[in-house]
Amino acid sequence: MSAEVIAVAGGQWGDEGKGKVVDQLAQGATVVVRAQGGDNAGHTVVNGKGMFALNLIPAGIFNPKTINILGQGTVVNAAGLIREMAALHERGISTSNLRISPKAHLVFEYHQLEDGHEENSKGAQAIGTTKRGIGPAYADKANRVGIRAEDLADPEECLGKIARVLKNKRGYHPDLANSPQFDPGYYENLLGEAQHVLTPLVMETSEFLYRHITGSNGRVLIEGAQGTLLSVDDGTYPMVTSSNTTINGLLAGAGIGARWLTQAIGVFKAYQTRVGGGPMPTERFDEGADRLRKSAHEFGVVSGRPRRLGWFDGVAAGQSQYVNGFTDIVITRLDNLSCMGDLMVCNSYILDGKEIHHIPSNLRDFERCQAAYGNEDCYPGWNEDLAGITDLNDLPEKARKYVLGIVATIPDARLMAIGNGQRREDLVFA
Ligand code: IMP
Ligand code: MG
């Protein structure tokens, strides 16, 4: 007897629609774990209870029988989590099925201040972060001065730790030293509230997960945030987030051994988007891209920024598969491409006259890559509405050909489902 362990990671630059896939799979899940990232993520979930934009809380929260864990690899904004819980309570959703790993690191407003400061100092090289303090919180973790969820149990001791951290930070950042957020007293009320609201949810998760996986027939779902190309290890560094967003990163962030993984699902949007800076070889600037952005509402859930839009990048998708080893893929938002004219899929880059099939590690080289499109990479568009289709065989022929063109760029994985609408049930399984 052992539980299924399914990890779901984004294959592109985030916003692939993982929230919906996880929400759907969470129906049968006994445990859902958020493994990395923080409230830089924004997952939109549409279900029978309405539309929800979740930042930290795992998508399994709507199922009262599912345990939802913020894993050791996450960075949790304590104030933000309390607000997010309250917003769910107001709409009648209980969070008594939420748990927090004691090892999860906390994000405070001083991290957000540092994030903004670091970005401003970069000028034109700014990453375009969400300014949620994610990078500085992971930096503190690696620097061994992070505050963890377990520290909330003793507000006084926690405040002492924060005071020591801030003393050094005032030295590193003289121009921020006088900000109220750099004064430990700023956090006193928050720590009191967090002890009250969050400490009861802090639970040792490694033994729980091990016993659950080895001793039940349940289903553990590990929910990724951001996407592979934003991974600090595998992505387009330095224009990345500060956690490892791949399947490998998810296992580490959940604290689950690799041998238990039964399925590695990669979620890919049927076209390409990116929020923030950094190269994007298939980016489009035409009127069609504006039309798609508006009709598909491609604006950031967290930042409200318009997302950059492009043709499906098969080189980036291949790169993603090199480092993830997805067993299954889900292609989302195919419905958004109805009535959008002919479509291109990029199958190689040209760098210095040579054809390549990977993303160069060096950002300067990546910036110089040009997306190449052969005649066979142009797919005739379709005008049929895909809503309501429940069988992949019922896709219009042109849409089916396009999907096969995308799937061919992701070797060794099987097509598991396509997304054809916003609702939970708008997912057609193969
Ligand atoms: P950070 O994660 O706020 O440090 O931002 C680093 C980069 O990741 C920026 O380009 C952000 O726009 C991007 N990013 C962070 N979280 C998300 C997400 O959930 N979806 C899409 N992009 C994200
Ligand atoms: Mg998002």
Summarize pLDDT for 329-354 with one digit per residue, the tens. 999 999 999 999 999 999 999 999 99
**Residue 60 · residue 52 · CB < 8 Å:** no
How many angstroms separate the CA atoms of 148 and 150, rounded? 5
Residues of the chain with pLDDT below 50 are none
Q: Say what the pLDDT of residue 300 is.
A: 86
3-state helix, strand, coil in the chain (%, to 5): 40, 20, 40
Q: Say what the pLDDT of residue 181 is.
A: 98
- Cβ–ligand 1 distance for 128 under 6 Å, the answer yes
What domains appear along the chain, each with residue ranges and CATH number? 4-102+201-263 (3.40.440.10), 105-197 (1.10.300.10), 268-429 (3.90.170.10)
- Cβ–ligand 1 distance for 224 under 6 Å, the answer no
Residues with CB under 5 A from ligand 2 (ion): 15, 42, 301
Q: Say what the pLDDT of residue 326 is.
A: 98
How many angstroms separate the CA atoms of 210 and 216, rounded? 10
Q: Say what the pLDDT of residue 38 is.
A: 98
How many angstroms separate the CA atoms of 180 and 184, rounded? 8
pTM for this predicted structure: 0.96
Closest listed ligand to the CA of 274: 1
**Residue 115 · residue 38 · CB < 8 Å:** no
Residue having the nearest C-alpha atom to atom 8 of ligand 1? 241
Catalytic residues: 15, 43
- 40 CA from centroid of ligand 1 (Å): 6
